[in-house]
Structure 1
Amino acid sequence: MTTTSPSPAATADWVDPAAMLRDPHETYDRLRELGPVVWVPALNRYLATTFEACRAIEADQETYSASVTGSGATMARALGAQPMLRKDDPEHATERAPVNPAMRPKRIREAWVPLFRCNAETYLDALIERGPGDADLNRDYAAPLAAHNLVDMLGLRGASPEDMRRWSHAFIAGIGNLHDDPEIWARCDAAQHEVDGLLDELVPYYRRNPDGSMTSAWSNGGLSDAAVRANVKLTISGGMNEPQHMITNIVWALSRHPEQCERVLADPSTWSAVFDEAVRWLSPIGMYPRETTRAAVLQGVELPAGATLGVVVGAANRDPAVFERPHDFDIARPKQPHLGFGSGVHLCAGHWAARISIGEVAVPLLYDRLPGLCTDPNREEQWYGWVFRGLTTLPVTWAAS
């Protein structure tokens, strides 16, 4: 019996971060060909791009820590402190426990679905008023709806959906600010100041008047003030960004696969499959960091202690070793796990909220009320990002009544 000795990581000195912002998938394919983990000088980190490498990292908190330092700590810089997503157990579990009850499917359907539906109807009316020649699905529906839903779930009394959108964009830009752009940090600092000012009022209020909101749960969960604030800001960033992009991603995907669109409209029970396949195919969370606590061998690749890793789930979700025809969108694909919401103990706390608010309410409602909904070929759409990736502009049209 022979065994393969561990080897140093291959180096990809050709990676162009600007090209990845436009579309990262060609880069991901080339990186996977070099190995499961590759050193990328332009990003000053190792990128793990295979499904098994990404899953192995999440399965071993002792070796691959979520509490990243140095150049990998952009989230703490953006949010003002380390949130639960950048902590390992038991600290991570302690900070997540207060909101777990509110994030269970039964509770979401009882407490939040009526609000999700009301908000969706409000912004769908605004989209329809724009008309099929001027409507932008991101601007007029996906972004304000995701923002309003998040204001309600967090219980950020006094904040508007526009406040939420602005804060989320500032925090997301900061979390992805791998090149230390001072203008991005300035926007982050301003957003932190505004959110902290609101929380100065809300945390004491919810300690006196607890309710079912996430801010109330954290405020009464025995956490430090810094932990409450960091986790509210974490939810502002991810809790708007991913649902917003999933609305536009699904419509974009179905517009390019009309036969699959017809299939789901004929059988609404397949909406859950549409949602899952869109998360796999167009992962809105493209990469998140980890750091080695000791020298390690990951899938046969040697890594030093203190190495910053990028867990590139956007690449792992198109790994041909795991997914047949990985670059194809196929809602009839056999059901199998993907990494669109992470995995292990850091599986996204809001994944059921996203599935229900988007996959069961926001997107089906669009197709119920807008016959012939599709992207508008006469107007330009825009994609951006790879750490977080989504459509920033998506013109749509439909059959006018």
Structure 2
Amino acid sequence: MTHAPTPVATPVATGSTGTIPVADWFDPHEAMHNPYPQFARLRELGPVVYAPAVGRTFITTHAAVSEAEQRPEVFSSQSETNLTMVRALGGRPMLRKDDPAHAAERSAINPTLRPRAVTQVWSPRFAENVERWIDHLLELGPEHADLNRDFAAPVASQNLIDMLGFPDSVSVEDMRRWSTSYIAGIGNLLDDPAIWARSDASQVEVNVVLDELIPRLEREPNSSITSHLLQVGLPEDAVRANAHLTISGGMNEPQHMITNLVWALSTHPEQRATVLAGEAPWGDVFEEAARWQSPIGMVPREVNVDTEFHGALLPAGTNVGLLLASANRDATAFPDADRFDVRRTARGHLAFGSGVHMCAGRWAAKNAIADHALPRLYERIPTLELAPDRTPTWDGWVFRGLTALPVTW
């Protein structure tokens, strides 16, 4: 990847043993369109870089992000300043708590998201949802189909409706709207009031559903995530906060993984030929796509205690951003990291985080996409390709994915 030379950064003094370079050129608006050139420049400056535009110290490299994720006693999720998620979801979910509070809530949902439960309980539902929405795509025809709008979003939404145990009255359009507004709120580092208004409205709508659902699940428990949260006796506010959390990521990231994968294969025809010839397993392709175009670009942390980290002194209270997407393009961890390569062994990527906060839904997402959505999509529509007369659109850097992917066949 080519980019302009990195200017000499003005260091910010942090103590006698280290300085932090300042990326005063980092532009979050530009990053919305394509963050990777700026991420490369950040890595050139070092593993710890301050970005004034977002008031945050970025951790940029694979080694540094991995280490920070393994040190939750220093890099805390239970911040009193990184509160966009709490604001967007109307409560503090497990992702914004440290152990032991985090562990208590995480252990509640683990049983329904482990590989055996995914295979036995959820995989058949995922298969049904994929077939239904491929039928829908075919009914629309090749002239008007948008894979994001007409397949990826509804499949991910219906999967999540099923996993949360929400009633049939909740539509895929409802779930998509809620998830989109929550994700925008969590990433609202610039404090846009219109974004808060949309996430507030979604909170109200979801809470109406939970008002009816919670008493029913208390009487009649089932395999759903919401039911598991209730069965361990969590306070209702924790159940609600984690239901909102699941909506935010449980639809958005799988949706983006489906479209990211199709876009990647469509723009790399030699890679697509390798996959469709059965020479690269779909599971490996899923992992490489997650590394190459990470749906989660950054996760926030707050430094608990004064600490020296990769040559920089970070005072207690420092707002930190762990740049997962930058770490996944670090050539010291992944040779030729800017290249999408379905034959790559992408083990060790950080697309789902690591440590105690590693994504609980990663097995469900991989099953839904690598075992069902992508194989069946190409089996039933083998000539699927990008529509040459309509343009795909990308958005986001805290969370990133395609907002439109016009296709034809």
The alignment partner of 1:112 has SS state of helix
1:269, distance to aligned residue in structure 2 (A): 6.0
CA distance in 1, matches of 2:171, 2:393: 26
One-letter code aligned to 1:161 = V
CA distance in 2, matches of 1:306, 1:328: 37
- The answer on whether the counterparts of 2:395 and 2:402 sit within 8 Å (CA) in structure 1 is yes
The alignment partner of 1:234 has SS state of helix
Match of 1:82 in 2: 92
Is 1:384 equivalent to 2:405 in the alignment? no
CA distance in 1, matches of 2:92, 2:279: 41
Match of 1:228 in 2: 239
Is 1:133 equivalent to 2:149 in the alignment? no
Is 1:149 equivalent to 2:159 in the alignment? yes
CA distance in 2, matches of 1:187, 1:258: 39
Match of 1:104 in 2: 114
**Alignment size in residue pairs:** 393
1:134-188 per-position Cα deviation (integer Å, ceiling 9, x unaligned): 1100010000110011000000113111111111011111000101111111111
1:105-151 per-position Cα deviation (integer Å, ceiling 9, x unaligned): 11111111111111111111111111112110001000011001100
Instruction: Compute the TM-score of the two structures, normalised by the length of structure 1.
Output: 0.96
Is 1:199 equivalent to 2:210 in the alignment? yes
Match of 1:17 in 2: 28
The alignment partner of 1:291 has SS state of strand
One-letter code aligned to 2:154 = P
Q: CA RMSD in A?
A: 1.1
Match of 1:242 in 2: 253
Match of 1:162 in 2: 173
CA distance in 2, matches of 1:13, 1:335: 32
CA distance in 2, matches of 1:242, 1:197: 24
Is 1:265 equivalent to 2:272 in the alignment? no
The alignment partner of 1:310 has SS state of strand
CA distance in 1, matches of 2:227, 2:304: 34
Alignment of 1:330-345 (within 5 A): 330-345=341-356
Change over 3 Å in CA distance of 1:334–1:188 after alignment to 2: closer
The alignment partner of 1:319 has SS state of coil
1:283-329 per-position Cα deviation (integer Å, ceiling 9, x unaligned): 00110100001111111111111001001100000001111000000
One-letter code aligned to 1:7 = G
1:335, distance to aligned residue in structure 2 (A): 4.3
Match of 2:44 in 1: 33
Moved more, 194-203 or 272-281: 194-203
1:352, distance to aligned residue in structure 2 (A): 0.0
CA distance in 2, matches of 1:82, 1:237: 13
- The answer on whether the counterparts of 2:288 and 2:345 sit within 8 Å (CA) in structure 1 is no
Change over 3 Å in CA distance of 1:292–1:28 after alignment to 2: same
Change over 3 Å in CA distance of 1:164–1:268 after alignment to 2: farther
- The answer on whether the counterparts of 1:286 and 1:386 sit within 8 Å (CA) in structure 2 is yes
Query: Which residue among 113, 116, 119 is the counterpart of 2:129?
Result: 119
Task: Give the 4+ runs in structure 1 shifted more than 4 A.
Answer: none
Change over 3 Å in CA distance of 1:96–1:268 after alignment to 2: farther
- The answer on whether the counterparts of 1:8 and 1:303 sit within 8 Å (CA) in structure 2 is no
Change over 3 Å in CA distance of 1:84–1:268 after alignment to 2: farther
1:280, distance to aligned residue in structure 2 (A): 0.1
CA distance in 1, matches of 2:341, 2:211: 47
Q: Structure 2 regions of 5+ residues with no counterpart?
A: 1-15
Match of 2:5 in 1: none
Alignment of 1:251-290 (within 5 A): 251-267=262-278, 270-290=281-301
CA distance in 1, matches of 2:332, 2:389: 38
1:253, distance to aligned residue in structure 2 (A): 0.5
CA distance in 2, matches of 1:142, 1:336: 25
One-letter code aligned to 1:386 = W
Match of 1:308 in 2: 319
The alignment partner of 1:11 has SS state of coil
Match of 2:104 in 1: 94
Is 1:43 equivalent to 2:70 in the alignment? no
Q: Structure 1 regions of 5+ residues with no counterpart?
A: none
The alignment partner of 1:47 has SS state of strand
CA distance in 1, matches of 2:198, 2:406: 27
One-letter code aligned to 1:49 = T
Match of 2:7 in 1: none
CA distance in 1, matches of 2:124, 2:334: 36
Query: Which residue among 41, 64, 67 is the counterpart of 1:53?
Result: 64
